[in-house]
């Protein structure tokens, strides 16, 4: 996802975020971003598990 940015680009992005949001607000934004990613991963995992379960059920029905 971030493989094309590189270290200089990442430093630039972090510096701009620090200038725009300030040092007090930046940890809150990071925490919210982390929680959002965690919830997204959880939802993606659940959806994948549901789809895989449906595929297994369909295979069982086809082999009967």
pLDDT (tens digit per residue) in 24-52: 898 898 899 999 999 999 999 999 999 99
Measured distance CA(18)–CA(12) in Å, rounded: 10
Domains and CATH numbers, the chain: 5-63 (1.20.5.3310)
pTM of the model: 0.60
Q: How far is CA 43 from CA 25, 32, 36, 49, 56, in A?
A: 27, 16, 11, 10, 20
pLDDT score at 42? 96
pLDDT (tens digit per residue) in 2-25: 567 788 888 898 899 889 988 889
Contact between 26 and 18 under an 8 Å Cβ cutoff? The reply is yes
């Amino acid at each position: 996802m971030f493989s094309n940015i590189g270290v200089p680009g990442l430093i630039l992005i972090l510096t701009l975020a620090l200038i725009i949001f300030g040092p007090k607000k930046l940890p809150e934004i990071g925490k919210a971003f982390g929680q959002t990613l965690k919830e997204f991963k959880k939802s993606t995992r659940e959806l994948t598990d549901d789809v895989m379960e449906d595929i297994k059920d369909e295979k069982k029905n086809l082999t009967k």
